[in-house]
Amino acid sequence: MSTFKEMTDEQLALLYIDGNNKAFDELLARIKDKIFSYVYYLTKDEDMANDVFQDTFVKAIMKLKNGQYTDSGKFVYWVMRIAHNVFVDHYRDVKGERIVDINKNNDIQNLKEINRENEMVNEQVRQDVTRLMNALPETQREVAFMRYFQQMSFKEIAEETGVSINTSLGRMRYALINMRKLSHKHNLNLTLEL
């Protein structure tokens, strides 16, 4: 029987799902520094990084216990994606609490960093949506593209594709359902930042 040290992260995660808590202890010891470094890079604040780090592992444990993990690659990247989503949620919660003090030297720089972070999150969301759309059947992809990227009405879509408005609506409905399923499957947060 192999020891925990010889196992991959993915094997340890699956052992933990089966009820072996020591497997998770080994897994945590292996990846905690990488995850904390990533979270600190996102937050640039040690207290916030600690909060996001703890919330990340609570969510990871819940997802593991609820059977929401499948061995589909590197476990550490799965946890990083959770950390990213926790950061976005946490940032959204505290964003309204930030008060800008114009007497501080770096407030304009802080605002620029916040704006840049929003741009980065939004770009990632756009890339994720594009990948999800590319995974759709052609008829659904066509309607979703026309609706969201060309901002066409369903009447215009129906005329352009030569189908009824109801068919266009139905295709859009199935496109949204399929994209929602794929986003949940791949743990994607598709919320744009303002």
- pLDDT computed for residue 39 by the predictor: 86
- pLDDT computed for residue 163 by the predictor: 92
- pLDDT computed for residue 194 by the predictor: 52
Residue ranges of E strands in 3-85? none
Mean pLDDT to the nearest integer, 119-145: 82
Mean pLDDT to the nearest integer, 73-95: 80
Tell whether the model's pLDDT for residue 146 goes beyond 80: yes
Interacting residues of 69 by C-beta distance below 8 A, sequence separation 6+? 13, 17, 63, 75, 78
Interacting residues of 39 by C-beta distance below 8 A, sequence separation 6+? 49, 52, 53, 56, 83, 87
Mean pLDDT to the nearest integer, 75-102: 73
Mean pLDDT to the nearest integer, 117-129: 76
- pLDDT computed for residue 1 by the predictor: 45
- Whose structure tokens read 């933990």? 16
Convert 31-67 to b/e letters by CB count within 10 Å (16 or more is b): beeebbebbbebbeeeebbebbbebbbebbeebbeee
Considering only residues 188 and 66, tell me which one the structure prediction assigns the higher pLDDT.
66
- pLDDT computed for residue 2 by the predictor: 59
- Tens digits of residue pLDDT in 9-34: 888 888 888 888 898 899 989 999 98
| Spatial distance between the Cα atoms of 131 and 78, rounded to a whole number of angstroms | 18
- Whose structure tokens read 């919330």? 55
Mean pLDDT to the nearest integer, 69-88: 83
